[in-house]
C-alpha cells in the first residue's frame, strides 16, 4: 500500500496525531509522519515527541514563522514536492493551523484523498484565522472526522454530503487518558511549590487578549483579584511575553499576588499540572476539552468557542476578557467548586481506532 501521510504543524497537533500514528503502526500501515515546522522550538518539540512516545518525524519541512500568507505558501510549495515524490494513498491533517489548510489544498489539487481529524468545529467568528482554516479545510476534504455531534450538524448545515462525515470522538482525549498515569511521575507541582486542588492554571496567547494593550490590561486586573485568593501558575507563551514587554506590562504581571510564572512546559508536566488544578483559565481550544474530560472548572477568556459542547455538556464557561466577568466567575467557582458537567459521547480514549477503521476502509475501497 502507498503511504498515508500524517501532517503536524504545531504543538497542539502532536496530541491529535500521536494516538493515530500508534494505532496505524500497530496495524502495520505504511505511513509517513511529516512535520511542517510551522511552529518549532527544538527543546519543546523534542519534549512533546518524547512525552507522547512519537518517533522523530520522517520528514521535516522547516518552514518557520511568517505571515499567514507566507507560511501557508511555503508549506504548499514544500508539501507538493513531497506528495509528488511519495505519491501517498491519503493525506491526514488535524486541527486548524495554517499547515492544515495548506496541505489539504495541495492534496486536493493533486487528486490525493484527504481526511480532516477534528472536522466540523465552528466558532462562527471569521475574524479568527483558525475559523477560515477550518471552513476551507472541511469544504475540500474527502473524509471529515468529527469529535462531537455539533460538528456533524455544522457540516450538514453547510451542505456537506452525509457520506463524508464520520463521528469518531475526540482524539485529544485518547492522548490525555493514555498519559494520565504516566504524568503522575512528573514533579512539576513540587518544582512550582503548589499542592493538588489548591491552585489555578492560566494559559494566554490569543491576539484578542495579548495583542491589544487594553484587553491585556483587563485580564491582568482579573488576575490581580484572583491571585489574592488563589495561587495561579502561568506558563508564559513567547507571544504573550513579547507583548507584555512591548506594552511595558511585564513588571505588573510579575507583581500579581501569588502568580507563578514559568516557561512553557512539556505535555506530561502540563497534564499533571492541569489535572491537579482547582480552576483553569485559558484562551486555547484543547484545554476546554481536557478540563471537561477531567471534570475541572474552566473559564475561557474568549467571546466564543468552536467547542460549544464543552459549555453545553462540560465544565466550560465563556467569560471573554472583561475583568468583572472573569472575577465573578472565578470567585463563584472557588466558592462552589465550579460548574459540573458530563463527558461527551465517544470521548472514551478509543477514537484513534475508529479513525483508523474509516481511513483504511476508504484506502482499500479506492484500491
State yes or no: pLDDT of 139 exceeds 80: yes
Tell me which residue of 40, 59, 36, 38 sits closest to 48, measured CA to CA.
40
pTM summary value:
0.95
At residue 44 the predicted structure's pLDDT band, cuts being 50, 70 and 90, is: low
**Statement: residue 8 has pLDDT above 90:** yes
- What was the pLDDT predicted at 130? 94
**pLDDT above 90: percentage of residues in the chain:** 90
pLDDT of the residue at 241 = 96
Residues 6+ apart with CB under 8 A from 111: none
Enumerate the active-site residues. 205
The CATH number of 4-170+347-365 is: 3.40.50.2000
Range 148-168 average pLDDT: 98
CATH topology match: 4-170+347-365 vs 186-336 = yes
- What is the per-residue pLDDT for 1? 83
Q: Which of 113, 189, 170, 100 is nearest to 361 (CA)?
A: 113
**CA-to-CA distance for 151 and 119, rounded, in angstroms?**
7
What integer best gives the mean pLDDT of the chain? 95
Nearest C-alpha neighbor of 289 from the set 276, 304, 300: 300
pLDDT for position 43: 57
Cell of residue 42, nine digits = 527544538
For residue range 235-269, what is the model confidence (pLDDT) as tens digits? 999 989 999 999 999 999 999 999 999 999 999 99
Concatenated DSSP letters of 309-322: HHHHTSSEEE-TT-
d(C-alpha 51, C-alpha 64), whole Å: 23
Confidence grade of residue 367 (pLDDT, cut at 50, 70, 90): low
Confidence of residue 65 (pLDDT cuts 50, 70, 90): confident
The structural domains of the chain, with segments of one domain joined by +, span 4-170+347-365, 186-336
Separation of alpha carbons 173 and 159, rounded Å: 28
Angle at 52 between CA 364 and CA 164, to 5 degrees: 30
Is residue 338 predicted with pLDDT exceeding 90? no
**Superfamily designation of domain 186-336:** Glycogen Phosphorylase B; (3.40.50.2000)
Q: What are phi and psi of 93, to 5 degrees?
A: -115, 155
Q: What is the pLDDT of residues 271-291, one digit of tens each?
A: 999 999 999 999 999 999 999
Amino acid at each position: 500500500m502507498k503511504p498515508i501521510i500524517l501532517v503536524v504543524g504545531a504543538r497542539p497537533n502532536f496530541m491529535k496525531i500521536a494516538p493515530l500514528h500508534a494505532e496505524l503502526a500497530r496495524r502495520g500501515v505504511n505511513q509517513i509522519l511529516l512535520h511542517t515546522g510551522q511552529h518549532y522550538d527544538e527543546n519543546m518539540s523534542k519534549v512533546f515527541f518524547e512525552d507522547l512516545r512519537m518517533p522523530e518525524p520522517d520528514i521535516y519541512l522547516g518552514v518557520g514563522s511568517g505571515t499567514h500568507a507566507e507560511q501557508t505558501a511555503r508549506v504548499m510549495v514544500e508539501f507538493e514536492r513531497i506528495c509528488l515524490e511519495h505519491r501517498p494513498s491519503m493525506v491526514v491533517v488535524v486541527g486548524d493551523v495554517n499547515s492544515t489548510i495548506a496541505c489539504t489544498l495541495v492534496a486536493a489539487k493533486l487528486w490525493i484523498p484527504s481526511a480532516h481529524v477534528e472536522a466540523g468545529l465552528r466558532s462562527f467568528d471569521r475574524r479568527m484565522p483558525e475559523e477560515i482554516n477550518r471552513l476551507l479545510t472541511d469544504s475540500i476534504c474527502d473524509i471529515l472526522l468529527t469529535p462531537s455531534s455539533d460538528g456533524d450538524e455544522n457540516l450538514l448545515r453547510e451542505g456537506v454530503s452525509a457520506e463524508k462525515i464520520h463521528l469518531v470522538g475526540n482524539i485529544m482525549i485518547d492522548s490525555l487518558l493514555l498519559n494520565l498515569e504516566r504524568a503522575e511521575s512528573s514533579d512539576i507541582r513540587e518544582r512550582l511549590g503548589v499542592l493538588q486542588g489548591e491552585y489555578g492554571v492560566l494559559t494566554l496567547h490569543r491576539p484578542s487578549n495579548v495583542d491589544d494593550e487594553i484587553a491585556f490590561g483587563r485580564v491582568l486586573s482579573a488576575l490581580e483579584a484572583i491571585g489574592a485568593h488563589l495561587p495561579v501558575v502561568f506558563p508564559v507563551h513567547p507571544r504573550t511575553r513579547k507583548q507584555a514587554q512591548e506594552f511595558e506590562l511585564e513588571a505588573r504581571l510579575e507583581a500579581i499576588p501569588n502568580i507563578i510564572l514559568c516557561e512553557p512546559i512539556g505535555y506530561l508536566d502540563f497534564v499533571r499540572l492541569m489535572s491537579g488544578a482547582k480552576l483553569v483559565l485559558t484562551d486555547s481550544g484543547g484545554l476546554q476539552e481536557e478540563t471537561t474530560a477531567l471534570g475541572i472548572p474552566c473559564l475561557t477568556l474568549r467571546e466564543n468557542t468552536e467547542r460549544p459542547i464543552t459549555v453545553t455538556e462540560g465544565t466550560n464557561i465563556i467569560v471573554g476578557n472583561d475583568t468583572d466577568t472573569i472575577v465573578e466567575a472565578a470567585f463563584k467557582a472557588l466558592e462552589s467548586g465550579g460548574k459540573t458537567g458530563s463527558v461527551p459521547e465517544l470521548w472514551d480514549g478509543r477514537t484513534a481506532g475508529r479513525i483508523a477503521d474509516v481511513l483504511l476502509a476508504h484506502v482499500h475501497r479506492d484500491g
